[in-house]
A and B are shown apart, each in its own frame.
Chain A
Amino acid sequence: MSNPPLLEVEGLTVEFETYGGVVKAVRGVDFTVEAGEVMAIVGESGCGKSVTVQSLMGIIPMPPGRITAGSARLNGAELLGLEPRAANAFRGKEIGMIFQDPMTSLNPTMTIGDQIAETLKVHRGIPGQQAFESAIKLLEMTHIPEARKRATQYPFEFSGGMLQRAMIAQSLACSPSLLIADEPTTALDVTIQAQLLDLTNTLQAQDAMAVILITHDLAVVARTAQKVCVMYAGQIIEHGSVDDIFYQSAHPYTLGLKSAMPSNIGDREKSLDPIPGSPPDLFSPPLGCGYAPRCPHAMRVCHEENPPFFKDSNNTGHATRCWLQAPNAPSVPELYQSNKIASDGA
């Protein structure tokens, strides 16, 4: 509470100029990450999670992308809108990044060892052979067997899980204070996922490194994160501790996500409830709450005005962008009741 946060993002807004018009991919996102903390950003495809972190790294293609508002400070230093040279002072050094698809995220014509060593050469000025040796150590650290031999191989000679380990080794080369993992396990099978998450957790704990974990897999969140932001249609709609989000979920969308998730507790015969409909068109985001058209509890105000964050009464840092949390709003069961009556009457 007392220390300034490691990363502070405020009002981040990102747009993409496309063939069909301007897509407002991220619409005013705020969050903070404390040192040594694992924060997860969850949400369905296209909700803006990847764009959020990629714009922090300055790697969204510009044009068509542009950051129209907001700031992001790492230890007080602004990250957004930097020249490549200035940005490179933290990219790869202060912030490491892992991508979704390890198969395509490594240069196919360069050996794994060279690619890892490259980071060290550029940021630490370590000469070639020595950097390569360090690369082998990093590969060993990520539990790649026969690391020395593996370092001289090319990406196509690696399996997906091994490649993601190499990616992790590469992103950790300069011991960054923050690691951004953009859906690191989505492209991998479940056993490899588990191994990798354990690996990340161990390494994170060892170095007291902060992690931003992007995922749409709630199981992964529960397993690794301490803090969670739920994104929907380019906005964070609920954030709080992992317990808050899982056990005190306040936003209907979060509730929806949870009921769409398989569980091994309780009634096995119970079918999963998908959330009906699809996210709004971000070419012209709705006036009100983005989730209102799909929300079973939508009220008049929801279609007219975007809700602000309402803090949880017990003040744990859990906040929700939902009119249902407004002090004078009706409680959910009674609303559900009236909703039902309304639809029956129609």
Chain B
Amino acid sequence: MNTLRTLTEADFQPAPSQDNLEQISRPSLSYWQDAWIRLKKNTRALISLYLIVGLAFFTLIGPWIWTKDPAAQDLDQISQAPALPKTALLVKDFEPSATPIDTTHPPAPSGYPDALDAVTGLTVLGTPTTQSVRLSWSPVDQAGGYSVYRSESAPEGLMGLGLPLASLTAGNIVGFEDRLNLKSQTYYYSIIPTDGFDEFDVVSTLEVSPQQSITVSQALERQLIDSDDRPGQTVQLAFHPLGTDYLGRDMLARLMQGARVSLFIGVVAPLIYVLFGVFYGGFAGYLGGTTDQVLMRFADFVVALPFLLFMILFKIAFGIGPGESGILPMLIALILLLWPATARLVRGQVLRIREQGYIEAARLLGGGPSYLIARHIIPNTMGVILVTLTFAVPSAIFTEAFLSFIGMGVAPPTPSWGSMCNEGVKTMLSHPHELFFPALFISITVLAFNLLGDGLTEALDSKMRSKE
């Protein structure tokens, strides 16, 4: 309890009267101002806004900054993982070399040997490059030939020897030149002596890391060097920060072009079908009666169509001519199938709002139909429409990706994130980056729009507004 002070005459003087009793002390905010303030307080929605701005930048400005041609193939760097700029050793053009034969050694065994020694003295002649790796070894007594294997991982004994490169059928051939699709990575070469037909259970393995190289004529052709450059120099190769795909195309450039396709479908399709749905639903809801019944019954049927199956059917029906990308058919199919959800929603909103007391009040005060629509119905449905639109974007992007993934979407060579995933999944085990990046972009975009949609829902929810 508060201790009482001694009260004086002055304390009991009437207080100055206050005339502003009915005044509301808090500032009044419009619906949209209030929503914007609350959206800004929502960290996740804010992050998603930044992400969307970033994606727009990536899509629209990106190709102006990263000017690499998304269709150009870099044959030196096929399925290249993301890496810093690479250099290559400039080497002479290929000149066939004679098979190395040890003339002091007999080419065939003198009988059928029961056992053979393992190959010894296995080395690489010269610098191993991605143009050629030249192996050399000492002949094995009584051998009638050798099998050469190459593996990308270390073999365990006779297991996991990898790719059979050659079966040499003379015991005095003591070398092999590998020119098969070499990359700058570590290889394990295994040599097994044979009697000319069958392999014996002994193996010698050598670890080789060929150096990235390019021949003079290739380098000239790709304009990487001047004509006076000589072999032995290092050459700067094209830079692929996100690597290349299975055809050697630059991933970053393709992702940017793919973004244009995916986001075009993902944004334009929802814009059109939501707009159509708004008009359709608004029309039905405003007119009411039989018109409304008929219009909405039709919408119900379209909703009942299994969506992805009919996307596929429509895609087939519209057909893709040679040289077409298939973007337009997909757009049309999306619009044809997805408008009813918005139409239903907007109709429901319009019907609900029409019954509200404030509409009745506005009508009694002499508000005409156009005034009611512009002043009450549209502003009160805008929030719902905006949220629908935001959530429609990720679902359209998902649809595009799904269809492209099963080969019914955007036709090659036009890249979309979905078709890039489709290509990437084939090489997933050896080159995961070809799947990872397009999948990442799809996920980030869908995530951003989903979070923004959540944020908008919360910000525009008038129930939340009154709670705070």
Q: Do chains A and B touch in the complex (CB under 8 A)?
A: yes
Tell me which residues across on chain B come within 8 A of A294, comparing CB atoms: 21
Tell me which residues across on chain B come within 8 A of A298, comparing CB atoms: 14-15
Binary per-residue interface labels of chain B (314-353) against chain A in the complex, 1 for a CB within 8 Å, 0 otherwise:
0000000000000000000000000000000000000000
Known: A293-B18, A305-B5, A343-B17. A299 touches B468 (CB 8 A): no
Tell me which residues across on chain A come within 8 A of B17, comparing CB atoms: 339, 342-343, 346
Q: Select one of A293, A299, A306 contacting B12, CB under 8 A.
A: A299
Complex interface residues of chain A between 277 and 312 (CB less than 8 A to chain B): 277-278, 281, 292-294, 297-306, 308
Asked whether B7 lies within 8 Å of A326 as measured between CB atoms, the reply is: yes
A276 within 8 A of B: yes
- Kindly state the separation between the CA atoms of A330 and B4 in the bound complex, as whole angstroms: 18
Tell me which residues across on chain B come within 8 A of A326, comparing CB atoms: 7
B2 within 8 A of A: yes
- Kindly state the separation between the CA atoms of A20 and B467 in the bound complex, as whole angstroms: 10
B13 within 8 A of A: yes
A329 within 8 A of B: yes
- Kindly state the separation between the CA atoms of A22 and B17 in the bound complex, as whole angstroms: 29
A18 within 8 A of B: yes
Asked whether B16 lies within 8 Å of A342 as measured between CB atoms, the reply is: yes
Binary per-residue interface labels of chain B (1-30) against chain A in the complex, 1 for a CB within 8 Å, 0 otherwise:
110110100111111111001100100000
- Total inter-chain residue pairs, C-beta < 8 Å: 61
Complex interface residues of chain B between 12 and 64 (CB less than 8 A to chain A): 12-18, 21-22, 25
A35 within 8 A of B: no
Q: Select one of A20, A328, A339 contacting B14, CB under 8 A.
A: A339
Tell me which residues across on chain A come within 8 A of B18, comparing CB atoms: 293
Q: Select one of B15, B22, B468 contacting A292, CB under 8 A.
A: B15
Asked whether B7 lies within 8 Å of A338 as measured between CB atoms, the reply is: no
Asked whether A299 lies within 8 Å of B14 as measured between CB atoms, the reply is: yes
Tell me which residues across on chain A come within 8 A of B12, comparing CB atoms: 299-301, 323, 328-330, 335
Tell me which residues across on chain B come within 8 A of A293, comparing CB atoms: 18, 21
- Kindly state the separation between the CA atoms of A300 and B18 in the bound complex, as whole angstroms: 13
A247 within 8 A of B: no
Asked whether A300 lies within 8 Å of B15 as measured between CB atoms, the reply is: yes
Known: A20-B468, A300-B10. A276 touches B21 (CB 8 A): yes
Tell me which residues across on chain A come within 8 A of B468, comparing CB atoms: 18-20
Known: A308-B2, A326-B7. A299 touches B21 (CB 8 A): no
User: A300-B10, A308-B1, A308-B2 given. 17 additional CB < 8 A pairs?
Assistant: A20-B468, A276-B21, A298-B15, A299-B11, A299-B15, A300-B12, A300-B13, A300-B15, A301-B11, A302-B15, A303-B15, A304-B11, A328-B12, A338-B14, A342-B14, A343-B17, A346-B17
